[in-house]
Each structure stands twice: as structure tokens, then as C-alpha cells.
A and B are shown apart, each in its own frame.
Chain A
Amino acid sequence: METRTLLIRYDEIGLKGRNRKHFENQLVKNIRYALRGIQNIKINKIHGRILGFVNLADADKCIDYLNFVPGIASISIGHSMEPDFDKIAKLGISLIQTKLQDLGQLKFCVRTRRSNKSFPSTSKEFNFEVGSRIMETLSSKGLSVDINRADFVLEVEIGPQKTIVFDNRVPGLKGLPVGSSGQVLSLLSGGIDSPVSTFKLMTRGCRVHSIFFDNRTFLGRGGYDKVIRLANILNRYQGGGKLFVIPFQDIQVAIRDHCHDMNRVVLYRRMMYRISNVLAELNNCHALVTGESVGQVASQTLKNLAAVSCVTQMSVFRPLIGMNKHEIIKDAKKIGTFDISIEAQPDCCSVFMPDHPTTRSKIKYLESDERLFPWEELMAQALASVEIINLDELNSRV
């Protein structure tokens, strides 16, 4: 059976020092997990690269799966062969010929990288030897050499054991491999922003669990269903994620009925942060993640952000804090959550949202409002009723 070699390049891991091995091993583990459905695949780590050996029929499918693995700079599908000029040139000719027939003229070059420094030829010599052999056959058919503006680049990587020849590079997600930076807990809503902030932490090597505050008694199950679908998409980038669903209606009703209207939104968020803090500690998560961006809505002014952050000792990561909406939407489209996020979602802002929310909440007034309802008791009840969804098992449910 014809096989191909996947040549997987790291992103930032290459910059790591003594920790590098830890990151590499995590990436290999994630790649094995992502490709677990591919039959007879072999994954090997070599210096600075990860190689996968697959059946030809599965190669494109592997690329599709690897597009969901953070930490990869780029991937190529190549041919493993002996470092023999004639054989490599023959392969190059067969790859170029089809394109040449379509286009009539083509500029090309050969680029060689040697990690096996004991190989007798230098990279430049190798380029020349292979390139001139190809030109002998195809120059009369419209092929020319152009090192700087080539339409077609035949790349050769000469390693200690393997030489790989390829003509393609698919960009990866970049960043760090999930699991190399520990776990965090992301406050996930059905909107556009929080899925993007969740994704951003995944590409920084974190395994991101999510928490959703559900009020289906007032809003119906639409929001819950939507968040499950979003969490399912996001989990494709990491695997092993959990979604915590907290029944939030009693807390929201208590705040609405007992506290000053203008403070409601900040008070809701302070409760969300407190609950998230507890769940994060219980689940070995070391920070909270939110989709807040300065000034986007009334609850996201500097004063209000400070007023919610102060209820937790935990770090709060806000990866979108300096981004504008257009940038966030662009990212949401790229990761595949946008179309779900913009689906109409039932809400009843009129019931819970004040007409004039404060943009400069004062902590002493918020604390005074919080003395008007039994928040500790309600928080304990909400935590006791948490629903935990293991996202890896979700596909059989939705």
C-alpha cells in the first residue's frame, strides 16, 4: 500500500530551552490523540520535527484533524525516500509535469534543509544536483529556475534516518500544545466573544474547561443547547474538556428583587466569578478566562471590571481585552463558532436587565446590596446542583 509521510513542524516550542522536551512530548501526545481514528499510523519524534507515517488514502484526512491541534506551525505531506539525486529528481519531475501541462510555463526551485550534517553534500549542492536534473528534462517544456519568486518549490529535508521530499505546506494553529500550561476555567455564554477567549487560551497551551450560567426557567433551554454546541466545537481543539452548567435563576431573581437596579449586572457577574472561583479550585484550574473587552458593554468599564475581579483571588485572563469587535468576529469565524453564536437566542432582558446599568460601580454599594439577599446560601445551592458534561462524550448525545 502506498504511504506518505506527514512532516509536522512546531511553533513556539522551538524557542523553548530546557523545558522543550516537555512541550514536545505533550504535542506528540495531542497529535496521537487527534489522529486516534487513523488506522496503522505511526508517529515519531525526531529532532525539531514530528513525523507521521500514513496510508496515502488517509493523508488529507490527517491534515483536517491536525488543523485542530494547537502548537503546530505547519504540516506537509511528503514522500520518504533515499537521499538519491536521481530518485528525488524523478519525483520532482512527476510533480512538476502536471502543473506545467496546465500552465505552459512555470518557475521553480529546490530547497534543501539538512539536519543530518554528516551528509556529504551541502544544501546548496543538493539543490543544484536535483534542480539541474529536473531542468534537463523539463526546460524545453517551459520550466525555468527562479529562487526568489518560484511558483513551485520542491523541498527536501535530509534527516539522520529519513529524507522527505514534499511540495506543500499547510499552516497550523501555532501557539503551544494544549496541556503544556495547566488548566483554566472559562466563563462561556452563547455570544460571540467568550468562545474566542476560550480558544485563545487553548492556543496558549491550557486545557480549558467551561462554565455556563443557565436560567432556563425564564429563558428556556435554547441558551443551554447553544452553549453545548459551542463547547463541543471548542473541545475539538483540545479534547478532555468539561462543561459545568450552573442553575443561576434563583440568584438572578434574588438580585433582581432585592438589590438596586443599576447594580444588577455587576452583582450577577460578581456571583458568576465567585461560583467560577470555587469550581476552578475544585477542578484544579489555576485561572478564570472571560471574553470581556474594555468598554464593549456597560459591565465592561474599567471600574466594573475591577468590581467583579476583586471577588476572586484567582488570576482572571481576558485575552480579548484590547480587541475590537471586528477582530473578535474574524477569529470567531475562523474557529467555527460564529454561526452558532449569532443564532437568535431567547432572552428576557426586560426581566433581568436594568434600564440604566451603572458604568462606575462602587464596591461599598455592591457589598451593601449583597447584604440584602443570602448569596452564600444561594451560591451553595447552585454549586450543589451543578451539571457536569464531559465534552468528549458529547457527540453521542447531541
Chain B
Amino acid sequence: MIYLDNAATTPITPKVMDVLKESMDSDFANPGTIYSIGLDAKKLIDRAKEDIAIALNIPSTHKIIFTSGGSESNNLFIKGHYFPDKKVAYLGLEHPSVREPLEYFSSFGNDPFNMLKYQTQGRLDLKNISVLSDTRSKLLCLSHVNNELGTVNDPVSVYDALCENSPDTRLFMDGVQAVGIFKLSSTIWRGLSGYSVSGHKIHGPKGIGLLIYDAKLSITPIIHGGHQQDGVRSGTPPVPLIRAIAKAISIASERIDEMQEHYEFLKNRLIQGLYDLSDHIPELNIRFNSLVDDDHKRQSPSIVNFSFPPVEGEVLLHHLEAKGIFVGLGSACSASSKKPSRILLGIGLSVEETRCSLRISFSGNNTINDIDVFLEEFSIAYKNLYPTFLRMNRKN
């Protein structure tokens, strides 16, 4: 099996699995209890928080809350601090777990400010950031790394631009696709009011994520109950999952330089391979929807998104699946939907180009051979399918 859909999810790494298994076996006590084994469980959570803070350079000004994953973290911050009457801006290219809570505000008469017209190549064009001041936006929500394109909104540049042009606007970033790919520095945290992380995108388990936010802010909980985690997120904290995400984050952070280099290598091989295929197959026209340059302030090296009209991505995906190759079709969270990707439409693709696209995303498990096999099978499938789609297009 060749798995190239790591932006959807990643397999658990063996060292994380060891922690998870051992902890499932031994750390059963409720960390909210006052007897010794409960206190031990609480200590393990505190230790995990310390490890996470060290790995991600999170300063003491920020608080870490464990959630069920990235979607909950996004919802918790947006609804917990900005619901329903504060003006919130977003680019319009975010994951649905950012976009939909904001759009939900509209039903309370508080329309979010959509900045799609200020996007360039999938990123917020900072030249126009002063509109946030004009609209009195209290919060700007962005993806650190876009989940379909891999394009980057650099937190430091965005924060600097905000300080200069709209100092009252805070910044929240969905960091689900960024952790493990980019280093988070204390400079970055200075500008971030909130940031979300997911365990299963970095070879950790599903069902665990983080909301990291500025401790000065008050967050109204979505889940009420046992007052765990200072009442911000009730529910018995899952010690094994918490220990496992801490381990996954530590491993990912330790290997960032090595991984960036690895992803860059894979990405360049893929992009060059696709260019070569275009040269050899006259009927193949590749359009890269993600950026092909190596500037990490603009593009994640772990995601490549491209279109190849007239052949449909979904059909190609199944042809590759038959060969044991698994790739992404837009966002995994909405791939079952028949609607064209809002992100790809948002950056100016036609409906056809949107339908005729795939997302390839890497992990440390991928090799050059994976890319070469993918390229070979992609070209075979494309050549087989092209006549059919050409015929269909001519009729239309």
C-alpha cells in the first residue's frame, strides 16, 4: 500500500502506540480524584502539558486545553470567545470547522466578514489588512496551513501587519496542518490569541487535540459538566490520549528539520515528475493549485494539489485505489459531498478544474519509490481515462 493522503490522517507511529498501550493499561484512574492514583494521573497530564509546551515553545502566557480534536478546538475558541456579537473576519478558505461556526453567527444577525476577495494564491494578501480596522473586526481566523492547498499564512507576518494596521484585531489560527511541518517559536505565540492542534495529523491517535490560547482571554465552555480543565472543557481528561499526543508532538518537533527536507525532496520529485509526464503525454495539462516554490512562508512542503482536466479526480482516485495507492480528493472531511471544493473555487478554479484535482500529502513514511510508483500509475490511469472524458467534454 502506498498512502499519500496524510493531510486527511496519519498512521500512529510505533513509539506513540507504545505509550498509548502502556497508558491504557496502567493509567485508568480519574485525574479529578483525590486519592493517590488519581493524583498520579493528574501528574501525568501536567507532565504531558509541560512536554507539549517545550516541544511547541508555548510560553506561560498561553494555556493548553485538551479537546477531542481540531474541529472541537476551532469551535471552542470561536464560539467560546466571540459568540455571538463580536465582529469576526475570515478568509473563506478555512476548514469547515472554522468557517461553519462563523457562518452560524449569521443566524444571530452577526455576519462574519469574508475576506475572500483579498486572497492571493490561497493566502491572505496582507496589503489589504487595514480593512479589518475599517470593519472593526475583533478577530481574524485563518488557516496556518490550508488543508487542501498547503498554502501558508505566516503567523508572524500576519501579526506584524495587524499591529500596524488593525491593532484591535486578534489572530486565531487553525494549526492542524502546520504542527510537525513548521517550527512554532515564541515570536509566533506573541501574535496568536488562539491556535488549534490535532493528534491524528501528526501520527498520534484520533480523538485528541489541543486548543492553545492566550490565558488573559476568557472562554465560555461549549461542554458544561464536571468543571475539568478550569471549567473550559468539562469531561474526564483521557490520560492515555493526552500522553500519546504529547509523545507525538515531541517526536514531530524533534524531527522537523529532517522532515522538512524529506518533504521538500518528495514534493520536488512529484512536481518534476508531473511536469515530465506533461511533456511526454500531449493530452495531459497539469495545473498546480498549490504553490510550486520552496518558500516555506508561502507553501507547506507536505501538500501538493493539482488539476488535470478533463479527467475527474474521483475516478482517477479509484483507479489508483485499485493499484493500492491512496490519495486525497479535496478535504477528507467533505470528500463525501458532491459539491465542488469551496477552497479550490475560492482561489479561482472553474468547477471542472475543481472536479479534476487531487491532493497528495506526505508523511515521514513515504519514500521516493512511492512517488515514482504514483507517477507511473497516474500516467497509466490518465491515458486510459482521457478518451472518455474528452468525448464527454466535446458533447458538452
Contacts and interface: CB of A to CB of B under 8 A. Distances in A.
A221 B321 CA distance: 10
B318 A219 contact: yes
A351 B318 contact: no
A216 B322 contact: yes
B337 A217 contact: no
B392 A257 contact: no
Contacts, number: 38
B336 A344 contact: yes
A217 B312 contact: no
Interface string B377-396: 00000000001110110011
B317 interface: yes
A246 to B, nearest CB: 17
Contact of A217 (B319, B338, B388, B391): B319
A149 to B, nearest CB: 49
A355 B395 contact: yes
A348 B315 contact: yes
Contacts of B337: 344
A217 B322 contact: yes
A346 interface: yes
Interface string B317-361: 111011000000000000011100000000000000000000000
Given A216-B322, A257-B388, A344-B336, A351 B395 contact: no
Contact of A351 (B317, B322, B336, B388): B388
Q: Is the interface of A mostly helix, strand, loop or mixed?
A: helix
Nearest to B322: A217
B314 interface: yes
Interface string A309-334: 00000000000000000000000000
Given A344-B336, A344-B337, A218 B395 contact: no
Contacts of B317: 220
B392 A217 contact: no
Contacts of B396: 355
A256 interface: yes
B318 A218 contact: yes
A219 B336 CA distance: 12
Contacts of A219: 318
A261 B395 contact: yes
B336 A350 contact: no
Contacts of A344: 336-338
A253 B395 CA distance: 17
Nearest to B381: A217
A220 B321 contact: yes
Nearest to B385: A351
B395 A348 contact: no
Contact of B312 (A216, A257, A350, A355): A350
Interface in A209-231: 216-221
B315 A218 contact: yes
Contacts of B392: 350-351
A216 B318 contact: yes
Contact of B318 (A220, A253, A261, A355): A220
Interface string A336-355: 00000000101010110001
A257 B387 CA distance: 9
A19 B396 CA distance: 61
Contacts of A355: 395-396
A340 to B, nearest CB: 14
- Between A221, A344, A346, A355, the greatest number of chain B beta carbons within 10 A of the residue's beta carbon is seen for A346
A261 B337 CA distance: 27
Contacts of B318: 216-220, 346
Nearest to B337: A344
A348 B312 contact: yes
Contacts of B319: 217-218
Q: 7 closest Cβ contacts across the A-B interface?
A: A220-B318, A344-B336, A218-B315, A217-B322, A348-B315, A218-B318, A217-B318
Given A218-B315, A221-B321, A351-B388, 16 more contacts: A217-B318, A217-B319, A219-B318, A220-B318, A220-B321, A253-B388, A256-B388, A257-B391, A344-B336, A344-B338, A346-B314, A346-B336, A350-B312, A350-B392, A351-B389, A355-B396
Interface of A: 216-221, 253, 256-257, 261, 344, 346, 348, 350-351, 355
26 contacts: A216-B318, A217-B319, A217-B322, A218-B315, A218-B318, A219-B318, A220-B314, A220-B317, A220-B321, A253-B388, A256-B388, A257-B387, A257-B388, A257-B391, A344-B336, A344-B338, A346-B318, A346-B336, A350-B312, A350-B392, A351-B312, A351-B315, A351-B388, A351-B389, A355-B395, A355-B396
